Structure 1
Amino acid sequence: MEGINMCADKAINTGNPAAQKAGLSPSTSIQVEEATILQLQQAMEKGEVNSQILVQQYVDRIQKYDKQGPAINAIINLNADAMNVAKALDEERATQGPRSLLHGIPIILKDNYNTKDMPTTAGSVIFKDSIPPNDAFLTNLLRKAGAVILAKANLHELSFGISTVSSLGGQTLNPYDLERNPGGSSGGTAAAIAANFAVVGMGSDTGNSIRLPSANNNLVGLRPTFGLTSRSGLVPISKTQDVGGPIARTVSDLAIVMDIIAGIVDPDDPSTELGKGKRSSSYLDSLNEESLKGKKIGILTDFFGASDEAQATNEVIKVAIDDMKKLGVEFVDITIPEIKTIDAYVVKMEFEATFNKYLDSLGEDRPVLSFREMVEEKQYLLSIDKHLTSSLGLTMDSTKYIETFNNRQKLQNVILEKMRQLNLDAILYPTVRTPPALIKEERWEETNGNLCAHSGLPAISVPAGFTANGLPVGLELLAEPFAEAKLISFGYAYEQATRHRTPPKLTP
């Protein structure tokens, strides 16, 4: 693996009382802000810190900044058992060694990931006390790898929105500007990771729900190819568009998580058969600072905004393109006019049946019997009622659904044909056409996420820098099916050359 900095000296500090609580020397502690998984693992291997200290340090930050101070309001529930889990993992490390690079690493889950020991709420008061009988498949993989689930994060209620407000969790704020929203629907996870409430987070993406909040919070987010990661045990919206994936401060952290969760067949999610044998042998080992050299990337000009506000984003992306040229990329402007004419939006036609199946999985303790009952009772934010009501009664056996679903393959074919014609390694565009929106604004028309969501193709969003008034901008790269290793490596090369990741000043 090229270019990975294993040096942890910047992460080590002294004098924090959390060390005493964890059984280490009173002079031993860790500066967790911006620390990477590799840095933390090196510190734990040296005995300079342990998982219990990390848990305490992140809990301290959550207590300081989530409901107090700037009151980011990213967290719905803290895991009361996190310290006990960390202690057991520390003891296991001492006797047997680490399970993986995630051993002892505190993580945050979007609160639509089932956890058998904590409520899984989807941000809704309806599910406030709903504890599923089993972990989500991805939750289980992360636990087996030794990750410590520190907390569950707020999301746009039932994942149907892009500003991260919910009846249970309220409004999550953007830590870079408290008057702006963090994006959504995985905005709680993104705001938490940006504010250093944990090392890495997990989100889900139906339309743009990993990449939009990553862009709005100066983070890295990946939407994997449909079928590469499991969706069983995630509170769903869409049978054919939901995917789970990581949100991280660095590309290397994202790659480490992908090495744990990708390409594993889940018997409860038939889509994972598509990803069988398609994962990289190691996403972490694929990282290469020279990976962009000699590559050809298409700039999708159709996906740049034309409004005055969009110009701030466009300027940042133009600089990013110039930086990539210096790294050896050949760019060509492209348009794909067919994108505008192919209707591949199936989400609302899949919502009711998919949601009912999830409710059935909760057994007799489910808080509502059916999607219809939930819609009729309206115990959720009225702002999402139009989405839910318009989904009621739609089915996946209608002619309209079959035609629209088949358009997904048409859309993918059009994109891949353009890439073949021009010999492109990837396609580039802004993750969002405008900077983070003001609280309660949902500019669906400004998001670019549906291109990969509707086509089933993978895409990564990486920090591209900041506007003149300090708002984060994300750059998205899309490629062919199961090209995650390439996209991650491209993102890494750009990240290492530009170093745009900057923590928010409001949560020092």
Structure 2
Amino acid sequence: MLARRRLLSVVLAVPLLLGTGAAEAAPPSPVQVVGLDVVGTARLLAEGRTTSVALVDRYLRRIDAYEDAYADQPGVNAIIAINPHAARRAGELDEERRRGAVRGPLHGVPLVLKDNVDVRGMATTGGSAALRGSRPHDDATQVRRLREAGAIVLAKTNMHEFAMDVTTVSSAGGQTRNPYDQRRHPGGSSGGTGAGVAAAFAPAGLGTDTCGSLRIPAAHTNLVTLRATTGLSSLDGVLPLAGSQDVLGPMATSVRDVAVVLDATAGPDPADPATAQAHGHVPPSYLRGLHPDALRGARLGVVTDYFGDAAAERPTNAVVRTAIADMTAAGAHPVELGPLPRITGELAESSRIKHEFEHHVNAYLARTPGPPELAGLEPPRDRTTLDDVVAAETAIPEVQQRLRTLLDSPALPNDAHDEALRRRDVLRRQLHELMVAHDLDALVYPSVSAPPTELGTRQSHLNCRLAAHSGFPALSVPAGFTPDGLPIGVELMGAPFAEPHLLALGHAYEQRTHHRVPPPTTPPLP
């Protein structure tokens, strides 16, 4: 990580080089960013109590303090690359603000992005050392929309290599650690974003979710996240795992911050034909739809199948049962759903990862080539393909092995892929029928069936499948902690394009319980 530290030392010095205007605008004493969310940041900026230059400097100093080993901790290790232009962009946005040109609540707010999302001028590695030399030609659509809203790309975050597991370890970034207990993993595959936002390296960030890659790290790092309806937000410029299952979305410390990011990013995009179905389903504002009494009268289907019976799962069960009791006290009506064997059967056969990965990755690499020396490893030698990545043999062992099994996938369409899509459609119909039969506003269950496990160990992640395989939206919200201080998340899943209602339900629960507490291993800087 020496190169990253050298870059960080340069970036930390940039505010001193921006000229007297930026220096004069900085507050006399640094703002405390631990516990500061996007909406709170926007308020401080609007009131002139801080500047974007000062915020970028403060977040970079936290990364410098807690990213690598310090005191008795091994370090969070959430960041793959710092954006060298972040401080300069902050100065430009401060100048816009001084002229009275404020773009909205994200104006001048630093964010971090998972490193499978294209940012112009920065590599998109997907956690792969083989792709360190890749350079996308432009921003992903959601990144462009965030920039247009005034957000600052502060850094790219680590992820499980090619998003292929849930513990966030990669050949490009190593092992990310959970700031609530650095002996444990942060979940994955978007664990770098989760750990970074939890440790106050930024107030919010973006990650992807193919089967839990947003919701698992959010649950493990005490954050809020939304896996939106498939097709609500663009996937243009995202290194895929399975295009028909992937979503790109926000991770933050509050429901209202998730709503703010969604306001800036959701909606149709000509570069992603799947988003055509979002027409007519994007409200004027997700943020304005939040209200504290949304749980009153809501009917919540408790998915008992998703409460495990192993000893390791009992602490999660207790926390989530308490969360459901809190929702009930707020006026919700829980409906206990018995075993769902038909739905469970479709879940086992509706994943599309093994069918789509190679084809969708090769399509991405054709638009965003890797370094020439990588392309030359395997035919065709004039462009990068998955064959080249495998031939480079840089991936961590378990990912390298899985990549080999995914080579030479049958061309699409094919019968097996068609059957997986048919099963997805059956699953959607069954979920719709279940919700109508019980008059449900949402389903509720643990985001992950067990707390974060120690580094190097496995963990069940099967609760991810209900939303991921169907494409229905799901919101994960902090539900509290186990007796030994490990975060637990509760998930609310709704019908397609029910994001406004899910966010309102989650906000009402969040405002009643206030389970978001910063992690102990990354305290405020002096």
TM-score (norm: length of structure 1)? 0.94
What are the Cα deviations for residues 270-312 of structure 1, in whole angstroms up to 9, with x where unaligned? 1110112211221100111000001110000001111001001
Retained in 1: the 8 A contact 2:114–2:207?
yes
1:255 aligns with 2:259: yes
- Where does residue 8 of structure 1 map in the other structure? none
Question: Residue 225 of structure 1 is aligned with which of 225, 229, 249?
Answer: 229
Deviation at 1:340, TM superposition (A): 2.0
- Where does residue 106 of structure 1 map in the other structure? 110
- Where does residue 390 of structure 1 map in the other structure? 405
Question: Residue 347 of structure 1 is aligned with which of 326, 342, 353?
Answer: 353
Retained in 2: the 8 A contact 1:173–1:179?
yes
Which residue type is aligned with residue 455 of structure 1? S
Question: Cα gap change, 1:312/1:27 in structure 2, threshold over 3 Å: closer, same or farther?
Answer: same
Question: Residue 79 of structure 1 is aligned with which of 71, 83, 92?
Answer: 83
Secondary structure, aligned partner of 1:228 = coil
Question: Cα gap change, 1:346/1:313 in structure 2, threshold over 3 Å: closer, same or farther?
Answer: same
What are the Cα deviations for residues 110-149 of structure 1, in whole angstroms up to 9, with x where unaligned? 0111011111111111111211111111111111111010
User: What is the correspondence of 1:106-185 to structure 2 with a 5 Å cutoff?
Assistant: 106-185=110-189
Question: Cα gap change, 1:255/1:26 in structure 2, threshold over 3 Å: closer, same or farther?
Answer: closer
Secondary structure, aligned partner of 2:505 = helix
Deviation at 1:504, TM superposition (A): 0.4
1:361 aligns with 2:367: yes
Question: Residue 430 of structure 1 is aligned with which of 419, 425, 446?
Answer: 446
1:495 aligns with 2:496: no
Which residue type is aligned with residue 469 of structure 1? D
Question: Cα gap change, 1:235/1:405 in structure 2, threshold over 3 Å: closer, same or farther?
Answer: same
Which residue type is aligned with residue 461 of structure 1? S
- In structure 1, distance between residues paired with 2:300 and 2:371: 51
Mean alpha-carbon deviation: is it higher for 333-342 or for 17-26? 17-26
- In structure 2, distance between residues paired with 1:458 and 1:424: 14
- Where does residue 315 of structure 1 map in the other structure? 318
Retained in 2: the 8 A contact 1:204–1:244?
yes
- In structure 2, distance between residues paired with 1:198 and 1:25: 18
Question: Cα gap change, 1:491/1:364 in structure 2, threshold over 3 Å: closer, same or farther?
Answer: closer
Moved over 3 A (4+): 17-22, 363-368
Which residue type is aligned with residue 466 of structure 1? F
Question: Residue 268 of structure 1 is aligned with which of 257, 271, 282?
Answer: 271
User: What is the correspondence of 1:370-385 to structure 2 with a 5 Å cutoff?
Assistant: 370-385=385-400
Retained in 2: the 8 A contact 1:22–1:50?
no
- In structure 2, distance between residues paired with 1:398 and 1:242: 20
Secondary structure, aligned partner of 2:289 = coil
Which residue type is aligned with residue 320 of structure 2? I
Retained in 2: the 8 A contact 1:426–1:479?
yes
What are the Cα deviations for residues 296-347 of structure 1, in whole angstroms up to 9, with x where unaligned? 1000000111100100100001111111110001111113221221110111
Question: Residue 336 of structure 1 is aligned with which of 318, 337, 340?
Answer: 340
User: What is the correspondence of 1:9-88 to structure 2 with a 5 Å cutoff?
Assistant: 22-24=23-25, 27-69=28-70, 70=73, 71-88=75-92
Mean alpha-carbon deviation: is it higher for 289-298 or for 367-376? 367-376
Mean alpha-carbon deviation: is it higher for 115-124 or for 475-484? 115-124
- In structure 2, distance between residues paired with 1:26 and 1:399: 62
1:279 aligns with 2:282: yes
- In structure 2, distance between residues paired with 1:380 and 1:173: 19
Mean alpha-carbon deviation: is it higher for 369-378 or for 30-39? 369-378
Which residue type is aligned with residue 349 of structure 1? H
User: What is the correspondence of 1:192-211 to structure 2 with a 5 Å cutoff?
Assistant: 192-211=196-215
1:481 aligns with 2:481: no
Percent sequence identity is 41
Deviation at 1:31, TM superposition (A): 1.2
Over the residues paired in the alignment, what is the CA RMSD in angstroms? 1.6
- In structure 2, distance between residues paired with 1:93 and 1:72: 33
Which residue type is aligned with residue 315 of structure 1? A
What are the Cα deviations for residues 51-96 of structure 1, in whole angstroms up to 9, with x where unaligned? 0010011001010001132310000111111110000000011113
Retained in 2: the 8 A contact 1:116–1:133?
yes
What are the Cα deviations for residues 407-466 of structure 1, in whole angstroms up to 9, with x where unaligned? 1111011111000000000000000001001112232x4431111000010000000000
Retained in 2: the 8 A contact 1:230–1:266?
yes
Deviation at 1:26, TM superposition (A): 5.8
Retained in 2: the 8 A contact 1:237–1:347?
yes
1:187 aligns with 2:188: no
- In structure 1, distance between residues paired with 2:512 and 2:241: 38
Question: Residue 482 of structure 2 is aligned with which of 462, 467, 483?
Answer: 467
Secondary structure, aligned partner of 2:143 = helix
Question: Residue 303 of structure 2 is aligned with which of 296, 300, 308?
Answer: 300
- In structure 2, distance between residues paired with 1:132 and 1:26: 36
Which residue type is aligned with residue 262 of structure 2? M
Secondary structure, aligned partner of 1:449 = helix
Deviation at 1:97, TM superposition (A): 2.2
What are the Cα deviations for residues 460-485 of structure 1, in whole angstroms up to 9, with x where unaligned? 00000000011000000000000011
- Note the residue ranges of structure 2 that are not aligned, 5 or more in a row: 1-14, 376-383
Retained in 1: the 8 A contact 2:59–2:201?
yes
- Where does residue 3 of structure 2 map in the other structure? none
Which residue type is aligned with residue 480 of structure 1? A
Retained in 2: the 8 A contact 1:29–1:48?
no
Which residue type is aligned with residue 350 of structure 2? A
Question: Residue 431 of structure 2 is aligned with which of 386, 391, 415?
Answer: 415
Question: Cα gap change, 1:26/1:399 in structure 2, threshold over 3 Å: closer, same or farther?
Answer: closer
- In structure 1, distance between residues paired with 2:514 and 2:260: 19
- How many residues end up aligned between the 2 structures? 490
- In structure 1, distance between residues paired with 2:162 and 2:24: 41
Secondary structure, aligned partner of 2:301 = strand
Secondary structure, aligned partner of 2:454 = coil
- In structure 2, distance between residues paired with 1:347 and 1:480: 23
Secondary structure, aligned partner of 1:394 = coil
Deviation at 1:28, TM superposition (A): 4.1
